[in-house]
């Protein structure tokens, strides 16, 4: 009944994402080398986990190229700092429709819908300790695009992750996604206890007001581990919110480009800022080994 604040907090740095942010800040890393270096800097600043997407090194547009994932993975495993690797498996579930009067045929440029095996191929190849599973379908952010992950697709991808021994981090963008995550655990597709990221303030998913956040937190099973973040300008506020509610935190350039008004951030700076808030609140930052022990993860050796 007293405050269930988390006193042993891990920080995930979401290094680059797949938004079209690469031209809005010089700090958004594009090439595998840049992504790995930014992740390593974040780890040195205090992140126990780095969550990575890959991009085309030239244009910076999001990519699913296996070679890029491999290079990021190897560079991070070879680094002189230890960190838990978390790769996205969110790519390959995007639809943009033709127009409001003619939805089909879909807009090819904005559509990337592939099968489960292809969506998980880089996970099978790289074997990160964690990979994400976007646990539902919704209108995603300002663009008129649909993030599409049907129940059938989630069962297929989730089972592949479980079979690979890679821990899925469930991304819950609204209350219904968390509900379905519990269904996946109930069906045995995902192991229990599960790991969930509460993704707040992503249009048009759950807004980041505290009533909605607490409704989600109250629905996370007691033995699961959760983390939370808010998209955009409330990123640092949610560092505090998640710790207060008993969770871990995620910061990074995937979700927010700014250190403060007018000042573009690096990933390391965002992690440092989070460390300051967390320690100021009286909690401790835990490192990658503690995270592995808590979540039952096995570190892969560098090749």
Which residues in the 198-237 window bind a second copy by CB under 8 A? Answer: 201, 203-212, 214-215, 217-219, 230, 233-234, 236-237
Choose one: 27-35, 72-80, 131-139, 286-294; the region binding a second copy (CB under 8 A): 131-139
Choose one: 24-32, 66-74, 139-147, 163-171; the region binding a second copy (CB under 8 A): 139-147
9 binds a second copy (CB under 8 A): no
| Total of chain residues touching a second copy, rule CB under 8 A | 77
Min separation Cβ 113 and a second copy, Å: 4
DSSP character string of 232-278: GGGHHHHHHHHHHTT-EEEESTTT--EEETTEEPPHHHHHHHHHHHH
Choose one: 19-27, 32-40, 48-56, 101-109; the region binding a second copy (CB under 8 A): 101-109
264 binds a second copy (CB under 8 A): no
Q: Which of 241, 253, 265, 285 binds a second copy (CB under 8 A)?
A: 241
Q: Which residues are CB-contacts of 14 (< 8 A; sequence separation ≥ 6)?
A: 51, 229, 250, 251, 252, 253, 254, 255
Residue 118's φ and ψ, nearest 5 degrees, are: -70, -35
Choose one: 9-17, 57-65, 134-142, 285-293; the region binding a second copy (CB under 8 A): 134-142
181 touches 190 (CB < 8 A) = yes
Within the chain, strands assigned E span 8-9, 11-14, 49-52, 54-55, 62-63, 84-87, 93-96, 112-113, 130-134, 138-140, 145-147, 167-172, 195-200, 225-230, 248-251, 258-260, 263-264, 284-285
Closer to a second copy at the Cβ: 51 or 177?
Answer: 177
- Helix, strand, or coil here: 87? strand
State the DSSP code for 175: H
Closer to a second copy at the Cβ: 127 or 281?
Answer: 281
Tell me whether residue 257 is exposed, middle or buried, using C-beta atoms within 10 angstroms of its C-beta: 0 to 12, 13 to 18, 19 or more. buried
100 binds a second copy (CB under 8 A): yes
136 binds a second copy (CB under 8 A): yes
Tell me whether residue 198 is exposed, middle or buried, using C-beta atoms within 10 angstroms of its C-beta: 0 to 12, 13 to 18, 19 or more. buried
Min separation Cβ 156 and a second copy, Å: 4
239 binds a second copy (CB under 8 A): yes
253 binds a second copy (CB under 8 A): no
Min separation Cβ 21 and a second copy, Å: 19
Min separation Cβ 150 and a second copy, Å: 5
Binding mask 148-187 for a second copy (x = CB under 8 A): xxxxxx-xx----------------xxxxxxxx-xx----
Closer to a second copy at the Cβ: 78 or 144?
Answer: 144
Give the whole-angstrom CA distance, residue 31 versus residue 36.
Answer: 8
193 binds a second copy (CB under 8 A): no
Give the whole-angstrom CA distance, residue 43 versus residue 175.
Answer: 31
2 binds a second copy (CB under 8 A): yes
Min separation Cβ 31 and a second copy, Å: 30
Min separation Cβ 140 and a second copy, Å: 9
Helix axes 116-126, 151-164, angle to 10 degrees: 20
């Amino acid at each position: 009944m007293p405050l269930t604040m988390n006193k042993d907090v891990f920080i995930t740095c979401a290094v680059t994402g797949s938004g079209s942010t690469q031209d809005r800040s010089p700090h958004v890393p594009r090439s595998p080398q840049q992504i790995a270096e930014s992740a390593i800097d974040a780890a040195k600043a205090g992140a126990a986990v780095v969550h990575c997407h890959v991009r085309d090194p030239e244009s910076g547009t999001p990519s699913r190229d296996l070679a890029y994932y491999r290079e990021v993975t190897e560079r991070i495993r070879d680094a002189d700092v230890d960190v838990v690797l978390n790769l996205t498996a969110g790519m390959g579930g995007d639809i943009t429709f033709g127009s409001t009067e003619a939805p089909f045929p879909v807009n090819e440029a904005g559509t990337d819908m592939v099968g489960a095996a292809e969506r998980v191929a880089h996970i099978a190849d790289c074997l990160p300790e964690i990979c994400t599973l976007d646990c539902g379908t919704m209108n995603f952010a300002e663009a008129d695009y649909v993030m599409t992950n049907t129940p059938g697709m989630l069962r297929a991808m989730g089972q592949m992750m479980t079979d690979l021994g890679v821990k899925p981090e469930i991304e819950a963008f609204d209350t219904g996604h968390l509900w379905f995550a519990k269904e996946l655990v109930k069906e045995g597709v995902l192991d229990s206890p599960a790991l969930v990221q509460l993704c707040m303030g992503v249009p048009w998913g759950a807004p980041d007001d505290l009533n909605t956040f607490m409704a989600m937190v109250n629905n996370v099973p007691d033995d699961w581990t959760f983390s939370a973040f808010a998209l955009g300008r409330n990123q640092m506020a949610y560092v505090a919110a998640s710790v207060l509610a008993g969770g871990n935190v995620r910061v990074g350039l995937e979700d927010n480009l700014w250190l403060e008004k007018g000042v573009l951030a690096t990933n390391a700076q965002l992690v440092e800022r989070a460390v300051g808030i967390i320690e100021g609140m009286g909690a401790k930052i835990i490192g990658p080994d503690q995270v592995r022990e808590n979540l039952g993860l096995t570190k892969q050796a560098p090749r």
